[in-house]
Amino acid sequence: MSEAAAAHAGVEPAETPLTPESWGKLGMWLFLAGDAMSFGCLIVGYGILRHASSKWPVPSEVLGINLTAFMTFLLIVSSVWMVLALSAIQENNKSRFNKFLGLTILGGALFLGCQAYEWTHLLNHKLPELGISFSNSLFASTFFVLTGFHGMHVTGGVIYNSCVLAAVNRGRYQAKHVEIAGLYWHFVDLVWILIFTFVYLL
């Protein structure tokens, strides 16, 4: 038995042999595997288009790496808060759970705010200066599709986490539901780590 299963064996019956804590956990892992393929295809497609192009702009010259580095830090720290929120509810510490999940939601919302600012700055200033738009530049269209698709996932995650926060406080959700939401949120962080590397740094 995995350590996770052993911890639960004496408490509740195993919901699935692979993920004893809940069906939902297995479902979320399977969903994330599929979602990872979606992002994977977008990133590989981006890489191929970029490699095939002779005049791709240098990302560190067009994009604001420092703001994006801060955004990366935001998602990483919100992941830490999320896992601390999970720990808190597993120990039945409601106020600590509320604090950390609340911070996670704020971190995600701040990330979206930064991204909105980044996009506005690019669309209104930086890209027109360089004569780039998404109708004439694969750099622009792949950038906005990739970061936009990810941003939609962050938005979904912020809404999801807010619903979980409310549901736990109304007594309808428990630790296992928070664990599932946590998996989604860490996945969003993980994908951003990869996007940050391949789109902004490389």
Partner 1 sequence: MTEAAHSASAYMKIFWILLVLTVIEVAIVYMGLPKILLAGLLIIFAVWKAALVAMHFMHLKLEKKTLAVIALAPFVLCVFFILMLMPDIFPR
190 binding partner 1? (CB under 8 A): yes
The answer to whether the CB of 113 falls within 8 A of the CB of 132 is no
Nearest residue to 152 via CA among 116, 183, 125: 116
152 binding partner 1? (CB under 8 A): no
> Which CB sits closer to partner 1, 51 or 170?
51
> Which CB sits closer to partner 1, 84 or 103?
84
138 binding partner 1? (CB under 8 A): no
36 binding partner 1? (CB under 8 A): yes
Among 80, 106, 109, 110, binds partner 1 (CB under 8 A): 80
Query: Which residues are CB-contacts of 153 (< 8 A; sequence separation ≥ 6)?
Result: 35, 188, 191
77 binding partner 1? (CB under 8 A): yes
d(CA 150, CA 153): 5
126 binding partner 1? (CB under 8 A): no
Q: How far is the CB of 51 from partner 1 (least distance, A)?
A: 6
State both tokens at 190.
């993980």
Residues in the chain: 202
118 binding partner 1? (CB under 8 A): no
Q: What is the 3-state secondary structure (H, E, C) of 139-197?
A: HHHHHHHHHHHHHHHHHHHHHHHHHHHHHHHCCCCCHHHHHHHHHHHHHHHHHHHHHHH
List interacting residues with partner 1 (CB under 8 A): 2-5, 7, 18-19, 26, 29-30, 32-34, 36-37, 40-41, 43-44, 47-48, 51-52, 60, 65-66, 69, 72-73, 76-77, 79-80, 82-84, 87, 90, 182-183, 186-187, 189-190, 193-194, 196-198, 201-202
